[in-house]
Structure formats: structure tokens, C-alpha cells
Amino acid sequence: MNRTSISRAGLYALRSLAVGLSLVAGLGAFVLFLQFGDADGLDTLDILRALLILISTLWLAWGAIQALIGLTSFAHPPAHDPAAPIRGRSVILMPVYNEDPLATFSRVAAMEASLRETGDPAQIHFAILSDTRNETIARRELVLFKHLVEDRNGMGRFFYRRRENNVGKKAGNIEDFITRSGGAYDYAVILDADSLMEGTTILSMIRRMEAEERLGLLQTLPKVIRARSRFGRAMQFSASFFSPIFARGLAMMQGETGPFWGHNAIVRVRAFAESCGLPALRGKPPFGGHVMSHDYVEAAMLARAGWIVRLDDDLGGSFEEGPENIVDHAKRDRRWCQGNLQHSRIIGAPGLRAWSRFVFAQGIMAYIAPLFWLGFILASIAAPILAPPPDYFPIPYWPFPYFPPSEASKAISLAIGIFGLLLLPKILIATRAAFTGRAKGFGGARLAFLSTLGELAFSSLTAPVLLMYATRSVFQVLLGRDGGWPTNNRGDGTLTLGESFAASHWIVTIGTVGLAATWAFAPGLLLWLLPVGVPMIFAPALLRWSSLPSKGRLMGVPTEYAPAPVMVLHDQILERWTAALIPEDAPAAPAVAPEKTHA
């Protein structure tokens, strides 16, 4: 099945099939649980738990079906001439906020070097858009920018400016550039501070924009690179091995209303300027104020204006870095949680496409889904306490007791079905990779399959802890607490045991109390809840262990066996700059004047 040739009727049929199969799975779980609960008579808690299972299973089934669509389709580039001369002018934007200038500016240099190696005469500029609040880092940025221009002989092609007021955070930073300087460019490639892209990929993105005049935004699928810790490498393997299949399923269902993930994407400047102005929402954060998860909203606004928004999952050469420990992941996820829940204020905006509203609903559901699982666990613990005592003599004056038949098989079938939705897609991805030869890039079919099993075990072990962080984030937002926009932690993410305990002692308490309550009030559930409670009790040790450097080949990815050319360029430039530049404790350069643009 080819995404580029699917008709509108085929698109609607595919979406309907995915929704229908998800509903069938959810309703099947609902009926099975009702049959299980009816063994000793249905009560209110049984119906509540059945509803919670329905919602949770529907959500799991949706993800599994997206993977199945990706497994049965193939990525093909859209129609375009890969050798056509590029007519328009482009700019590559890298917003930075209290980042290490040596790491970020050297990435810009590597991408410029990669573009230069192609020999293509396309007019492409680079703009570093600083929202840095730390004056020491700001002075360092100016030093590194001067070195960047000199090292790459880039006078007139590199620009730097620092805003005096970082209103609107990253979205406001991009909007400020589009407002002030966007008229000089036809296309803008939007990056994050940890983004890295091949020059050939950037040129292909521009050519695809020029081949389709209605294309407003083109999103690539970034691969995580340079992970060192056990947690980081597990996330890196998942992003490289599983995510392309899920993304392909998404690409098949999205049609012309695709996603924007905020970075490693290209926009048509005119379309973005005309369609994507983001007014502040009424009220105070977390639900009011500036839109935090602006990328999904901007994609929806482009689609509303008639522009095509597309995920081209066939494009390679797009990279990013990820958090190295669970605590940093949870901090970043807290910001995303607030942004996605804020979309509840936007989902009813007039004129939006139905699929855009559905995407907003999915984003909200991604964060409230843990609450349904938590509610199911709490209701199951409470059920033996609140349920009426069994009536073994339901017929008056009948001398023999009646023992209801066991419906344990229904519960076991339900558990197998739920675990199947979680595990089967990844097993199928590993199997297909072995047959298609894709597994060779991951060390071969055997090692790829072992890595899949390792990732499944690792994600099962960390899931309860991540569930607790996600649940806390949702409650904080619902209680009106603004999480702000904390600086991302880059580099070595190793946690001490003390740091791990400080970040998770409340999880230990909840896990201990939860298992104790289960043993006291619902001992029959204790065995089922041990896989949830034990990781919570040992959360500090788990956080510490997962942040340590990973050794061995398990969960290796292609960029570890053969680094991408732009990665090699970045390593060379970073090594050369590190040796040449003044140390950070040397006398600082003069302060950067906010709002001043340097070229």
C-alpha cells in the first residue's frame, strides 16, 4: 500500500477501519470483564471497572492498529525531481535557550559543511535565534558565533540575534523571526538546539516543497543519536527500530492533515506567516497564556487554511538527541503534558479539520490514559471491601448452597489480550525486519530480536515509574500549577542514588502503601500487582541504574555501527573547536546586546 497514491475515499475507509477495529477491541474487553464480574453478581464497581477497561483497551488497540498499518505499507517518496535546480531562498532556524553554545553552534557548522559538500548552489542561510536568559551563556554565544563565521567563511550567510524578552517561548521566537525577516525567504527549516540534519536531506526537503505548491509544512522523522545511558539507548533503539513503522501507519492515515513536531521540519514561510499566528489564550497558565505545544496547533491552522501538512517518513538523515535519564524525561514530559491538556481550550476552534480535532483528542488522551489504569487498579483493590457478601442461598428454603462458576478464564483471556496489544506489534516489527534485511543495521536478525525483547523488558520495568510521573503531571495541571519551560539538560545524565531518591521517594511511598493495601484488602490481586508495585518501591535504584552508561551491543542502532556523514563532520568540528577556543573560565567577551542581530 502506497501512501502517495491513496484516494480520498481510501483514506476515509482506512481511518474508519482503524477506529472500528479499536472499538471492537475495546468493546470485547468490556464484555469479557462484565462476564467475569457477573460470576458473583454485577455491582457498580464492576461496571465502573469495565468502562475503565474499555477506554484503556481502545487506546492500546489504536496504537497497535497504527503499527499494523505501518507494517503493511511501504514508504515511497512523493513525485519530485531530485536534481531540479532550487529556485527559492531558504533559511535554517535554530532556536536556543540557555544551551551550551559550543555544542549547538558546532551542529550548525556541521550542517553547513554537509550542505557545502553537496556542491548545490541553493541559497541557504542560517539563523541562530537566542532566547537565552543567562548572561554568561549569552556572552559565550557571541564568542562562538564569531568563531562560527570565521571557521566556515560564512559572512552574510550566518545570523544571530538575542531577544530582550522571550515572550511566547520557542513559538514566539520563531514568530519574531518570521515577522521581522521572513519576507526574505521562501522556506524555513525549523530545528531544535540538539537537531542535526544531512545536507542532502535539507535539499530534498526544499525540492519537495517546490514540487508541490500547496505543501505548507513537511515533517521528517528524527532518529535519536548519541545516547549513552541504559535509559537513553533504550529510547534510541525504540525511536530507530519501532518508530518508523508507527510513523508510517500515521502517514497512511493522515492524508493532507499531517503532524508538526516542532523541529526537523520545513515550512513555506508565506503559508506559516499567513496561517500560524498564535494569540495568547484567555486566563492564566496552565490552561491560559501562550500556547505551549504550539506545533500541533500550527499544523492544524495550516490545514485549516488549505495547505498540505505531510509527514515524509521515507526521508533519512534527520537526527536529534534525547534525555539520558528518567528524571530529565519526566521534566520534558511535564511540559508536553501541560501543552497537550491546554489543547482542550483549542479543540473546538472554528474551521478546524476533523482530523486535526482528532489529533488534539489523541494528544489529550495520551496523558490522561494513565489515570484510567490507575483508577482501574484502585477500584479493583476497593471492590472486595465494598462488594456485598456472596449469597450462597439465592433461592428461599432451598437446602443446598449455590456456588457460582469460576470465570477466571475470562480474566486470563482479557490479560492476554491486553498484553498482546502491547507486545505483538513490536514482535511483528522485529520479525518483518529480519525478513526484509532491515535488521542488518541493528546487528543482524538475532541481535535485533534480542534487543526487541530487551526493550520490552526495560519498558515494562520502567512503565510503572513513568506512569506515576505522568499521573502527577496531569494532577498538577488540573490543580492549576504552571510547569513553565525548564531548560533541557544535555550531556552526561548520570544520577546519584541521593538524586534518584529525592526525585522518586514519593513513588516509593505510593508503591509501598498500594501493595500493603492490596495484601490487606484484596490479597487475590497481590500477584497481579507485583509487576506494578515492585518497580515503584525500588524506583530510586531503578532511576540510578538506568542512568548509568550502557555497555555491549544490545539495543544498538545503525548510527552506532556506521555514524552518519553529518555526525562525523560534527565530531570533527567539535574536536577542532574545543581545542582552539578559549576555555569557559577565561575572561568573558563583552555582553551581548539583546535584540541586536549579528551577521
Please give the pLDDT value at position 166: 85
DSSP 8-class letter at 292: S
- Tallying the residues shown for the chain, one arrives at 599
Please give the pLDDT value at position 75: 81
Please give the pLDDT value at position 597: 54
pLDDT at 174 over 70: yes
Instruction: Say which residue the cell 497512511 belongs to.
Output: 252
pLDDT at 591 over 50: no
- Tell me the average pLDDT across 95-119: 96
Beta bridge mates, 90: 124, 187
- Tell me the average pLDDT across 155-178: 91
Round to whole Å and give the CA distance between 293 and 278: 11
- End-to-end Cα distance, the chain: 48
Residue 39: pLDDT band by 50, 70, 90 thresholds?
low
Name the average pLDDT for the chain. Answer: 90
Please give the pLDDT value at position 304: 97
Please give the pLDDT value at position 392: 47
232: left (phi over 0), alpha (psi -120 to 50) or beta: alpha
Domain boundaries, the chain: 1-78+212-262+275-386+407-491+554-562, 87-195+563-593, 495-547
Domain 87-195+563-593 CATH class label: alpha beta
Among 32-46, 111-125, 271-285, the range scoring the smallest mean pLDDT is: 32-46
DSSP 8-class letter at 442: G
- Rounded to 5°, the CA angle 184-188-190 comes to 140
Q: What three-state secondary structure class fits 433? A: helix
Percent of the chain with pLDDT over 90: 75
Round to whole Å and give the CA distance between 252 and 155: 43
Round to whole Å and give the CA distance between 377 and 399: 38
